[in-house]
Chains A and B, each alone.
Chain A
């Protein structure tokens, strides 16, 4: 066992405290989430018996990859936390975002990052429509109704893309060439951009939720939809806006990962399972949790991959996931509910 997952040795809010403060400052959890992987990495360097350059590379790659994971998970955690919808279509929507960007790049000749800026509102509109026309009808029904609908949606999107574009792999030329070199490790610029995008989106989302009237309305609906409706919040509109925001995050992700991934109608799928793991690991509905959870998973996968190659790195990811849930069932940043 190399990467030590956050354990309950560090101070965590007691259940009573957490219940008293639905949205507490989670400094202890954040400290654990940052300190534990850092300690694990140091441990690996000290006693792991691997070339320090390799470890440095694995850490850099893990952080960059974790940023991408976090970016994909941000939208999912928002939808999960506010709407209580398990959105199985997140991966398919990521693929859709990549195809929208791809078409803008290859047909309209836009630079890929400019195309991303166009993709985001498109995906927002798609998400808004899905929630407003379909999911809103099911919000009062059981959880499984919404789940089945998103699952059906993912099959629909994937196969519509297959029908329209075929299954041939596609890619766009790299918009920025070369790589940044940090401590002997290589960080390709396209991935650095994606990582920065993740941080910016997380900050924007956090600011939106904390500092704006819309954010207050979203939080109110998340806490108590009926109460929010009673004080004049249009709950259905907030639902649609939230789902739209969630898919807009995927829109950013799609555009930023397109330069380094090969695009087929199933490309988004490989992120779906990990995104769920990250959202639950970080705590349902927690923006910071999704980003940090992504970084933790990226690090575990890459640094762990130095020791357990092939299928082993995924095994480690799930081992850490189970362990964290065991000691902190509400996730790193979740409040007990």
Chain B
């Protein structure tokens, strides 16, 4: 008994040690003048998960920041500052809020004029607090939770749509597509991961669904930290006899759900749709899911595949880094552009002036399929950020709705295949 106790104590101690050991060092490198004074490169800080379970997307986003900075430097740097070039300092959040926070402090202390990040809502919340306190602007590339901008912070800006906008637009576009095709959608079974991300998108969807004539929404949530079998959850969804199954989650769990739906072969389900889904509009998804993913719809923010400039950037990214440039990475690229444009406008590397320039500027021709130019409201939210709907057609992710961004006509109903 005593030995068991001793063992338990040791295990706990080591676990605590491990957590503390990963706490990262915050050696305050008294970083000289902000962004380098007068000459020399201007520093932009990039915080993303470069290790841990989300390292895949984190790497792509960090690479996209570097590509954007290279492109701007090659085009002559910041003209308003005599052609000064940009440089990137990358930081690894490890996907943990407290690490993201200390890394943000480190970047600010080493002279970053602005921060780009961070892919996760909880990490972003902490980083935005650092940005506010240090008076250094943070441009969020990806992080969906509504509450990030609900704190009244002046130094945080977000390019992508927030969670409630995603859920709401998802319900609207589903209803619109169904109406166009004359197929009634009355019942929806909604699978979502149980953290803030999935729950907030789901809540917004349910609120809007009633207004769109979707009578019944069945909720099934799952914890992504331990989700290696989706059969019971999918069976619960199917038991509600839904017209459409909707899913909000990350890549691995969503792929698992798609494969499970294929093996359950639900009768009567007219379509499967992702909203803010990490898999269904990812180019890798049709390759991994094979025929199981065919016809899947996905309402999400997305790069504008109909824009030739975006196509060119994505081609270069692929050549340089050997990976397809996903939407998250395009958002990182866009975030650097917004900052560079603000530097031009401010004519200064003072972060407070850069902040004012971001708040007051408009970025035309966004790289994302948005309703209009990037323009931030008082909370820092891009008012023209909207999701669009994609569909897997013949093994390719294509934009299908709304019409102005459509690459191919939408197929609906699109019952899941084996």
Interface residues of A (CB under 8 A from B): 51, 53-54, 57-58, 60-62, 64-65, 68, 86, 88, 143-144, 147-148, 151, 159, 162, 166-169, 171, 173-174, 177-179, 185-186, 188, 191, 257, 260-262, 264-267, 269-271, 274, 301-302, 305-306, 309-311, 313-314, 329, 337
Whose C-beta in chain B lies nearest to the C-beta of A158?
B51
Residues in A whose Cβ lies below 8 Å from that of B58? 167
Q: Is the CB of A86 within 8 A of B11?
A: yes
Residues in B whose Cβ lies below 8 Å from that of A270? 225-228
Q: Interface with A: B25-33, B255-263, B335-343, which one?
A: B255-263
Tell yes or no: B59 within 8 A of A by CB.
Answer: yes
Tell yes or no: B252 within 8 A of A by CB.
Answer: yes
Residues in A whose Cβ lies below 8 Å from that of B204? none
Which of B13, B255, B263 has the most chain A CB within a 10 Å cutoff? B263
Interface range on chain B: under 10, 10 to 19, 20 to 34, or 35 or more? 35 or more
Among A167, A269, A311, A314, which residue has its beta carbon within 8 angstroms of that of B54?
A167
Q: Is the CB of A262 within 8 A of B288?
A: yes
Q: Interface with A: B232-240, B293-301, B377-385, B391-399, which one?
A: B232-240
Among B3, B6, B288, B323, which residue has its beta carbon within 8 angstroms of that of A171?
B288
- Write out, one digit per residue, whether chain B residues 1-28 have a CB within 8 A of any chain A CB (1) or not (0): 1011011001101100010000000000
Residues in B whose Cβ lies below 8 Å from that of A264? 53, 55-56, 252
Main secondary structure of the interface of B (DSSP, over half): helix
Residues in A whose Cβ lies below 8 Å from that of B6? 143
CA distance A147 to B236 in the complex (A): 41
CA distance A151 to B14 in the complex (A): 9
Among B51, B53, B223, which residue has its beta carbon within 8 angstroms of that of A159?
B51
Q: Is the CB of B323 within 8 A of A168?
A: yes
Interface residues of B (CB under 8 A from A): 1, 3-4, 6-7, 10-11, 13-14, 18, 51-59, 194, 219-223, 225-229, 231-233, 235-236, 239, 251-252, 255-256, 259-260, 263-264, 284, 288, 290, 323, 418
CA distance A314 to B195 in the complex (A): 14
Q: Is the CB of B231 within 8 A of A188?
A: yes
Among B1, B10, B252, B323, which residue has its beta carbon within 8 angstroms of that of A143?
B10
Q: Is the CB of A314 within 8 A of B223?
A: yes
Whose C-beta in chain B lies nearest to the C-beta of A188?
B263
Q: Is the CB of B228 within 8 A of A266?
A: no
Residues in B whose Cβ lies below 8 Å from that of A185? 235
Q: Is the CB of B236 within 8 A of A54?
A: yes
CA distance A300 to B14 in the complex (A): 29
CA distance A174 to B6 in the complex (A): 45
Given A186-B231, A264-B56, A266-B53, are A329 and B4 neighbors across the interface (CB < 8 Å)? yes
CA distance A171 to B290 in the complex (A): 11
